[in-house]
Structure 1
Amino acid sequence: MPGSPTIVLIHGAFADAASWAPVTKLLLDQGHQVLVPPVFNRSLSGDAAYITSFVEQIDGPVLLAGHSYGGAILTVAGVAENVVGLVFVAAYTLEEGESLGALQGGFPDSDLAANLVYAPYPIEGAESGTDVSVAIDAFPAVFAGGLDQEQAQVLAVSQRPLSAVAFGEPASAAAWKTKPSWGIVASADHTINPDVERFGYQRGGFRKVIEIDGPHLLMQTHPAEVAAFITEAIADLD
């Protein structure tokens, strides 16, 4: 779509770029330029640095949309000069100097907290890191609610873990302070306490916030609504 920004969709923890697939197809069918890069889930600073580099290589303006942990990434990467707006979907919105753990710590735990699994992974020349994933048997209800059971089981065994380092690492920037932002709350979210989402969006003074009565993976269960919200944000850009 000539004149429109490139839409860059950022996935979160325990998922990959395919989590955005239904929304990606809708946006492409509408004629938008869309890119969905991988997130390596190794550290907030490293993941944000990669997305920043990815975005800065795009010719022209960019609208960033992030899901879950992807919201923390775009909070930092969104300061890239060619980013013109931010859309948070069932996502974390961090303040500069704040970590995921610190933000979550101010609210009651979601069902995710009791269903995390920890495993070591090697780091060349250093002590092993710790991967965090969702227990496979709990994944369908906690993370993939609203999806067909067979699809949820496939996602459960193919999830991309998040390094434990990312939970305690403070955000180095808060792009929502200088970039127009929009947010979607998943009011039936069992992965992130919906109040965490509401708090971040309210603190950020977002231009518009909507609530969808759906689970964490809104891009899978409510793709039309999510795609429409993203295109509405584009139309609302100054």
Structure 2
Amino acid sequence: MKKHKLLIAVIMFGLTWAAIVRAEAQPIEQQTKPTILLVHGAWADASSWNGVVDLLLKDGYTVRALPNTLRGLSADAAVISTYLKSVAGPVVLVGHSYGGSVISVASANAPNVKALVFVDAFAPDAGESIHSELASAPPPPSDFTISVPFTASNGDGADLYVNSKYFGTVFASAEPADVATRLAATQRPLAERCATDRAPEAVGWKTIPSWYVIGDADKVIPPDIQLKFATRAKSEIYHVPGGDHPSMIAHPEVTVAAIRDAANAVSH
């Protein structure tokens, strides 16, 4: 009888221990799934990520589409850096267009950023600016942007808006006319200095693995310049045939594929 009770106790202990192990293993797995942080570029806002967000939420990711203040490279990167400090666990940091410059700087001293994803984006090296990176591209029309002066505590400046007549033909050239018109009406301007601010010595893509999505019909950052950025950063490259500058709006699945691959690399 005593042996029988002892055997039952041993079996029950084993079952209990196995249950504890299974219960503890599940949260650990969930905790290692990275948070996805999305940083929009100029002449857009966080809603430009809507299609991407919907797909990532279905995958069970924690996702945040962060506001990019568009005031200057160091100031914008500082905002993202501050938010990164509030996130526990690994992060996949994603940037579109000028947002690529911002994540390059913000990630340099952020140990929880384990992967970078660039979408039709700038990826500057030390001393480079948007202006210098586009030096080899065909110049835009002289009235491509509309400058609106402002006065701030740190001096005078100007906000740059895309002229509405070019928004659908250049910036969002693959979008239906009604979508392009709405995007033009809701665009957020960037401060003029964003185009000339130079990247600091430390940029994240030099040490953090990266993935890069190229819209093959991008008329803002020519695809050959994007390919240069991606090759220099040793990024895994994805192409969007016919993709315009915000290629993730019409084709969110390509950007999500890059993010999933980055997240899987982080998780294993």
The two structures share one fold, judged by TM-score above 0.5: yes
Q: Which residue of 1 aligns with 2:148?
A: 119
Q: Which residue of 2 aligns with 1:135?
A: 163
CA distance in 2, matches of 1:155, 1:166: 21
| 1:144 aligns to 2:180 (yes or no) | no
| 1:33 aligns to 2:48 (yes or no) | no
Q: Which residue of 1 aligns with 2:130?
A: 100
How far is 1:189 from its partner?
0.3
Contact 1:99/1:169 (8 A) holds in 2: yes
| 1:162 aligns to 2:190 (yes or no) | yes
Q: Which residue of 1 aligns with 2:107?
A: 78
TM-score by length of 1: 0.94
CA distance in 2, matches of 1:122, 1:33: 38
Letter matched to residue 221 of structure 2: I
Structure having greater relative contact order (Cα 8 Å, sep ≥ 6): 1
Letter matched to residue 83 of structure 1: V
CA distance in 2, matches of 1:12, 1:130: 17
Contact 1:90/1:186 (8 A) holds in 2: yes
Unpaired segments ≥5 residues, structure 2: 1-28
How far is 1:110 from its partner?
5.9
Q: Which has the greater radius of gyration?
A: 2
Q: 1:196 aligns with which of 225, 229, 240?
A: 225
Q: Which residue of 2 aligns with 1:62?
A: 91
How far is 1:236 from its partner?
2.3
Q: Give structure 1 regions of 4+ aligned residues with deviation exceeding 3 angstroms.
A: 110-114
Secondary structure of 2:95 counterpart: strand
Q: 2:256 aligns with which of 227, 230, 236?
A: 227
Contact 1:112/1:134 (8 A) holds in 2: no
Q: 1:186 aligns with which of 199, 215, 220?
A: 215
- % of aligned pairs identical? 37
How far is 1:230 from its partner?
0.8
Q: Output the aligned Cα RMSD.
A: 1.6
How far is 1:124 from its partner?
2.8
CA distance in 2, matches of 1:23, 1:32: 11
CA distance in 2, matches of 1:130, 1:19: 24
CA distance in 1, matches of 2:158, 2:187: 15
Number of residue pairs matched by the alignment:
235
